[in-house]
Chains A and B, each alone.
Chain A
Amino acid sequence: TQLLEQSPQFLSIQEGENLTVYCNSSSVFSSLQWYRQEPGEGPVLLVTVVTGGEVKKLKRLTFQFGDARKDSSLHITAAQPGDTGLYLCAGVGTGTASKLTFGTGTRLQVTL
């Protein structure tokens, strides 16, 4: 069974601060996705990274896929209250079904 561990589990910061969330595994994934989930809703896809070492930027969010395709990070610059939510990483398996394995999540709260 492939496992994805996220750290930290909880993060409470003030508006304007920077933060990094980590997603680690001992398994290799075909690709890795990041989702954000708000209370009472389903997760929403933010990004997919495919190539080892790949870096993708979406406005203030920077996503990186590890060189060995076993880990990833999400960096948020100048966090805003609208960034508050549960961040989930998900590894796409190498089998034909390409099933997703989700991390346990990082709950982020950004206060004024």
Chain B
Amino acid sequence: DAGITQSPRHKVTETGTPVTLRCHQTENHRYMYWYRQDPGHGLRLIHYSYGVKDTDKGEVSDGYSVSRSKTEDFLLTLESATSSQTSVYFCAISDRAGLYNEQFFGPGTRLTVL
């Protein structure tokens, strides 16, 4: 299994508070991704990174920001959490783009915003 950890695994927070989720990898993969998974929507890409300090938006990036200061860590921040951001968040890594952009996923973080 690819070495990916996410922290925290579970979090309950209140509307309006900032939240940061961490993804840590030990595989030295170049690409890292943040997804959210909601019933009826499958997995949707929030932001991704193609190198240290190189990030770009996905399809549902509003209300989220990311940072990647070193290869192994990719942080997802909800600046002011809202109830619509209640979801399960997955981090994924990949060592290549193109046809074989095969991604390895972390165990997920379940976030509840009250």
Contact = CB atoms under 8 A, between A and B. Distances in A.
Nearest to A89: B42
A51 B42 CA distance: 25
B99 A99 contact: no
Nearest to A44: B105
A30 B99 contact: yes
A40 B37 CA distance: 12
A89 to B, nearest CB: 9
Complex A-B, nearest 9 residue pairs according to Cβ-Cβ distance, in ascending order: A42-B105, A102-B43, A102-B42, A98-B97, A31-B99, A104-B42, A98-B101, A43-B105, A30-B99
27 contacts: A30-B98, A30-B99, A31-B99, A33-B102, A40-B107, A41-B107, A42-B4, A42-B92, A42-B107, A43-B43, A43-B90, A44-B105, A88-B43, A92-B101, A96-B97, A97-B48, A97-B50, A97-B97, A98-B98, A98-B101, A99-B48, A99-B58, A99-B101, A100-B45, A100-B101, A102-B43, A104-B42
